[in-house]
Amino acid sequence: MEKKFRNLEEKIKNKIYQDGLITIEEYMALCLQDEDFGYYKYKRPIGADRDFITAPEVSQMFGEMIAIWLITAWQNIGKQNINIIELGPGNGLMMSDIHRVSKKFPDFYKSINIWLYDTSETLKEEQSRNIDYNFKRVSTLKKIPDGINFFIANEFFDAIPIKQYIRDAGNWKERAIGLDDLGQLTYSVIDKQKGRPTDLDFLEHELNSDGVYEISPKQDDILKIIFENISKNGGLLILDYAKITGGAGDTMQAISRHKKRSIFYEPGNTDLTSLIDIKRYQEIARTMNINSFGPINQSDFLLSLGFFERYKILRSNTSDEYKNKLDRQYHRLIDPDKMGKLFKVLYFSNNNSTVPEKMK
């Protein structure tokens, strides 16, 4: 008879008791995707009164700028039919804003199909409520729709599990999760080197002893599938918080109720993310003969698409109270000490006519 657990922490501890240490990748996957208690399986995490907020929730102008880029790209490829595929669409607000703008351009609107890729049943319900369009779903990235595909990934890759390695006395060891003397979750390492990525051999000069290096085979696999799909047309637009100098450093973090937490804080009820490794993404693209553009700051990307002009138009036609709200939205997305510099924008495509203007 299968054992019942009260929560994910109990389930993880039992797994460690039974099977031994679990890797950081396994721990992150359990916390986010466990069938019984996974964070993205059942929680509604996005919103001011929940755990975190993303750019589309800050302002409608964010999704409107993405729509402007898509319309421009569509015009530049000869107004062909395209699929707009959002990876990890959250509660659907960005796609709702893209859809709303698209309807103002009838020829463009007739040329698009909207697809969503998500694993959260709870968020799928919110997407269906928020997007007034008969969109379709991508059930697996192994079955991507035919045609010209434009993928959009806003804060998607940062939630794909990572592996962490530590160089100890000249040897690489995989970081893991175990139990301390009191039976609480704690960091550990796996001494066996089976399955260790060979590219770590070339990184000794990047790290001091006990330094952490992060990679994500799962992110790599997703990128390779998409890069193969866009090798002839279309593109992948990524907006995420990132590191640009390689995989060195421990960037795994936990967020709950807009506060940073320990990664062991209430597993399954806390969001776990890490910074994406732009250098690795670009290297994978290079080996697959895919052109990469950027990274640039989110502020530069949005401003180049007319973000300031849109903000001024909205501000000129509203009440003083809403003007103050627009001001807060604008500065949160643009200011360097907020989301403007923290978030980076990357684009991958072999069709240079689809590249956002600021990234050419």
The three-class DSSP label of residue 274 is coil
Quote the CA–CA distance of 40 and 268 in Å, as a whole number: 8
User: DSSP string covering 34-89, please?
Assistant: -TTT-HHHH---BSTTSSB--HHHH-HHHHHHHHHHHHHHHHHTTS--EEEEEES-
Stretch (H or E) spanning 163: strand 163-168
Quote the CA–CA distance of 253 and 260 in Å, as a whole number: 7
pLDDT for the residue 1 = 46
Note the pTM of the prediction, 2 decimals. Answer: 0.93
360 residues of the chain, pLDDT tens digit each = 467 888 999 999 999 999 999 999 999 999 999 988 988 876 665 545 544 578 888 899 999 999 999 999 999 999 999 999 999 998 899 999 999 999 999 999 999 999 999 987 778 888 999 999 999 999 999 999 999 999 999 999 999 999 998 877 767 789 999 999 999 999 999 876 555 555 565 555 555 555 788 999 999 999 999 999 999 999 999 999 998 888 888 999 998 877 889 999 999 999 899 999 999 999 999 999 999 999 999 999 999 999 999 999 999 988 888 899 999 999 999 999 999 999 999 999 999 999 998 998
